[in-house]
Structure 1
Amino acid sequence: MADEREILDNSAFARRVRIASARLFAHGIREGDVVAIVLPNRIEFVIVLFATWRLGAAATPVRPDATYDELRYQIADCAAKVVVTEGGRGVDTLDIAEVCATESGLAIPDATTVDTEALALIIYTSGTTGQPKGVMLDHANVAAMCAMIVEALNLDVTDHSLLILPLFHVNGIVVSVLSPLLAGGQTTIAGRFSASALFDLVERLQPTYFSAVPAIFAMLVSQPESAAPDTSSLRRVICGAAPMPAELIDKFESRYGVPIIEGYGLSEGTCASTLNPPDGPRRPGTVGKPLPGQTVAIKNTDGSDAAQGEPGEVVIRGANVMRGYLARPEDTARTIIDGWLHTGDVGYIDPDGYLVLVDRIKDMIIRGGENIYPKEIENVLHSYPGVLEAAVVAAGDPVLGEVPAAYIVAMPGTSIDTEDLLAHCAKTLARTKLPTSIDLLDSLPRNPVGKIDKRKLRAFAATR
């Protein structure tokens, strides 16, 4: 276990965890309590996480750049007993320097035998449809998810994960830290992400993989052509959080010579539910097949199974499905029905069993009574030379109700003629699906986990 400041072997890491557990115990943390961790990516985050679990408590990671109100909301919502951070935040906190000291005169408490049904993590959603909700994941959820990841990615003692995603998100915790450690491998935690410096880290540290989101791969593709890093240590890289356009996958793989393993999942499913097979065949444009131990199905609005190849809501069943939303039984009942986790995503399963995501249900555009999925338009926009990123949202229309509005980010050094781009779309899309406007932006707004923030784009479109 390492970060950019220190390297800990297993015995040193275990010792630091025991000392941290003594500090937490001295501050009243007991089995069933909640510890809030407000830290950037650093080794102490993982030490506190393991120390919390050693005492039988649950951890709730908090965005380190959260506003005061966001911080107070999450702490109050989950009734965190201790907040571990650095430099205070205007709330009662326990400073990380004290928790993770290398020496302690305190007695080390015995490790608690943790029930698999005990809470391990409370992960807060990004709150794009209201106040963030606490996703309750127990130890059985986390253990099942890690086992699935280890098996699906064939992780072993030779694997070295480079963590670049934030640790306040379950992807960073499960895919980049817990799974490689459980497989006997190692993890190095990178500090603040920099697209221009990432491959310097890869060349120096020689990781076998890293996990990222489409926005990061777009930034890497847009690096100067003169950059020609040594990527030979990378066996694969993993993409999640949002579907990645096939064109962007091809650009990255062609340039860097590293296969992208695209998957799909959500916090409510402890991270991942499908993955393109690492040993192939990988199928760009899909998010792969269900992970071992999970069942993925497509449901109609009446709850019946959709016909083969027909779109409907993606639902998931398995040991990875959350216990529910903290203190929100109504939301839980609407999301988990008869054991199926309802994702709010529209998709279909192709004849070979690969899941194809069509769009989010809430992002659907209703134009004069016709349902239009933005992702279909975005895929066509992405196929135009020079387009790096594309997003389509609903804009208001006095006659039709809603119409598609497109927002584009161009590749560096590339100019895009919006009229020509619209003509390109017209070759593939029906007239009713054509964007009524195309705006060129320097960047697209994103939420804390790197997904395009369509709520902000819709608000922007409403002002036009």
Structure 2
Amino acid sequence: MQHIAELPDVRAGRNPTGPCIADDREQLENDAFLKRVRSAASVLRTHGIGIGDVIAVALPNRLELVVIMFAAWRLGAAVTPVNPGLTDAEARHQIEDSGAKVVITDGRGMGTLDVTAFADTPADRSPDAVSPASDALALIIYTSGTTGRPKGVMLDHANIAAMCRMIVDGIGLDETDHSLLVLPLFHVNGIVVSVLSPLLAGGRATIAGRFRAPAFFASVEAARPTYFSAVPAIYAMLVSLPDDVRPDTSSLRRAICGAAPMPAELIAQFENRFGVPVVEGYGLSEGTCASTLNPPPASGRGDPHLASLAGPRRPGTVGLPLPGQTVAVMDAEGHLLDAGSVGEVVVRGPNVMRGYLGLPDETARTVVDGWLHTGDVGRFDTDGHLVLVDRIKDMIIRGGENIYPKEIENVLHTHPAVLEAAVVGAPEPVLGEVPVAYVALLPGASATAEELVDHCRGSLARVKVPVSVVVTESLPKNPVGKIDKPRLRSFTVSS
């Protein structure tokens, strides 16, 4: 297969009646999926979409979004998925910045084409499929905008194909796998890990609607997936479910965690309670999703898929570099560092983005001599596992001392009452910055701010101990589900 754009045709040719993709409304076999893609391509063609164009899709998680994505690729066009929760001004920035020729919505005012236009269009009107070049633009994924206005990450078909193959090989996906998509489809993790990779492996995907922790395991029991991919905040919500929630998770071979490092304590809580091993990975949109993977332990269920992948596990690390990529640690002068040394994590491989759309200077600062500079601080242990120290921009400088919030957060997570923790810098007239912690507790647990500060004193040097701890019901999240540290910083400034 030349690239992912040909998947609908290949699957229909091999197994027309095999299950392919489903959502809360319907299920499609391979042949029906291909017909829907052809039909959608016909609609897009009548609206002037062709080679080199960009379409914007602002839809919640639903089957049509995947159909439209493959239809655009069939015509040689690229797709920019838009978070449907954005304000009109935020969405307009992405639509205008990407140069989208058509905007597909489910009734939203700024749309130029309603999703209902893709229903019941005869497939025999479908235009001939284009075979896009490997370097043709496939996706424009917009960053969450934590460092300013969101930037468009340009991913071509070669990026997508390389990343999917790495995911398939790294996780051990095959034709028996069935993913349950719970992450948003405007994010590359949802697209690559939960849709494209299982389809490439010959498996199938079920698209869940908006994530709700109380309803999640009912979806698992109904769909019987073999895996799902989520962010730490979702695992925290699942662990917080009432003790009498004891679902049937026997279909799940693995659960995948990405987007942000997951505390080792949270991994253990989830695995011990639900009996599902967690595969933790690390990556970013600029690297088309994933760069390292921490294999799960061998499954007590005797699962041959997991047994073949099980290896040395390092809780607190994000695993080993995926085959086909080079992951290293670099100092500020651009020198690669040995194991144990702390520096910026850099990535090189066929998964590295083409660049930021319309931002050549920003691209040149981020990809230097083929190395993608992630902005993350890390080190490798003696066995080659990557340990993330923190984000460079999150570092707190207190009276000239460098403090990494993740170190404080890790200590807070060892307290038995703590569910989530985030540490940010607060302005201080003499020292410049001081650490302030925000903590959410497990349901039914109790801990005072003073108790949590004392807990930190037992493990941290005085300069690293938070000057205050704010105990709150929950921590704010950005659209991808990461803890929203910029928002927490605004709290420290306003207070």
Q: In which range does the TM-score fall when normalised by the shorter chain?
A: over 0.9
The answer to whether structure 1 residue 395 and structure 2 residue 413 are counterparts is no
Work out which of the residue numbers 47, 50, 58 in structure 1 matches 2:67.
47
1:306 Cα deviation (Å)?
2.0
Match 1:369 to one of 379, 400, 406? 400
Shift of 1:267: 0.2
1:413 positional shift: 1.1
Quote the Cα distance in structure 1 between the aligned partners of 2:123 and 2:70. Answer: 20
TM-score normalised to structure 2 length? 0.92
1:228-377 pair list within 5 angstroms? 228-278=246-296, 279-377=310-408
| Residues in 1 aligned to 2:412 and 2:465: alpha-carbon distance in whole angstroms | 10
Deviations 1:134-174 (A, max 9, x none): 00000000000000000001100100000000000000000
Paired with 1:164 and 1:156, the residues of 2 have a C-alpha distance of 20
Report the Cα distance in structure 2 between the residues aligned to 1:90 and 1:98, rounded to whole angstroms.
15
Name the TM-score, length of structure 1 as normaliser.
Answer: 0.98
Query: Deviation string for 1:91-146 (max 9, x for gaps)?
Result: 241111112x1233872100001100000000000011111000000000000000
Residues 212-231 of structure 1: pairs in structure 2 closer than 5 A: 212-231=230-249
Cα offset, 1:437, TM superposition: 0.4
Match of 1:201 among 219, 226, 233: 219
Correspondence for 2:4: none
Matched, 1:170 2:170: no
Structure 2 residue 53 is the aligned partner of structure 1 residue 22: no
1:133 matches 2:164:
no
* One-letter amino acid of the structure 2 residue matched with residue 153 of structure 1: I
How many angstroms apart in 1 are the aligned matches of 2:124 and 2:218?
Answer: 41
Aligned match of 2:411:
380
Are 2:94 and 1:63 aligned? no
**3-state SS of 1:404 partner:** strand
Aligned to 2:99: 79
Name 1:91's counterpart in structure 2: 110
Q: In 1, Cα distance between the equivalents of 2:258 and 2:123?
A: 43
1:112 aligns with 2:143: no
- Paired residue total: 462
**Distance in 1 (alpha carbons) for counterparts of 2:472 and 2:365:** 37
Over aligned residues, Cα RMSD in angstroms? 0.9
* Residues in 1 aligned to 2:50 and 2:153: alpha-carbon distance in whole angstroms: 21
Answer yes or no: is 1:142 the counterpart of 2:153: no
Q: What is the distance in 1 between the residues matched to 2:284 and 2:465?
A: 30
Contact 2:346–2:372 at 8 Å: present in 1 too?
A: yes
Structure 1 counterpart of 2:340, one-letter code: G
Kept in 1: contact 2:339–2:384 (CA 8 A): no
1:359 touches 1:374 (CA, 8 Å); kept in 2? Answer: yes
| Residue segments in structure 2 that go unaligned for 5+ positions in a row | 1-20, 297-309
Q: Which whole-Å CA distance do the structure 2 matches of 1:371 and 1:307 have between them?
A: 21
Structure 1 stretches of 4+ with a deviation exceeding 4 A read: none
User: CA–CA distance in 2 between the matches of 1:418 and 1:456?
Assistant: 20
CA separation in 1, counterparts of 2:74 and 2:188?
A: 19
- Give 1:152's match in structure 2, choosing from 149, 170, 173: 170
Give the CA deviation at 1:218: 0.1
Structure 1 unmatched ranges of 5 or more: none
Q: Deviation of residue 90 (structure 1)?
A: 2.6
Q: Partner of 1:225: helix, strand, or coil?
A: coil
One-letter amino acid of the counterpart of residue 480, structure 2? V
What letter matches 2:372 in structure 1? Answer: L
Do the aligned residues in 1 keep the contact of 2:40 with 2:121 (CA within 8 Å)? no
Secondary structure (helix, strand or coil) at the match of 1:142 reads helix
Q: Is the 8 A contact 1:407 1:438 kept in 2?
A: yes
Task: State percent identity of aligned pairs.
Answer: 67
Between the aligned partners of 1:430 and 1:177, the Cα distance in structure 2 is: 45
Shift of the 390–185 alpha-carbon distance from structure 1 to 2, 3 Å rule, reads same
| Structure 1 residues 105 and 49: alpha-carbon distance in aligned structure 2, compared to 1, 3 A threshold | closer
SS in 2 for 1:439: strand
Equivalents in 1 of 2:215, 2:109: separation in Å?
33
Instruction: Output the CA distance in 2 between the equivalents of 1:413 and 1:276.
Output: 32
Letter in 2 for 1:300: D
How many angstroms apart in 2 are the aligned matches of 1:432 and 1:307? 28
SS in 2 for 1:8: strand
SS in 2 for 1:451: coil
DSSP-derived class of the 1:197 partner: helix
Is residue 35–residue 123 contact of structure 2 (8 Å, CA) maintained in 1? no
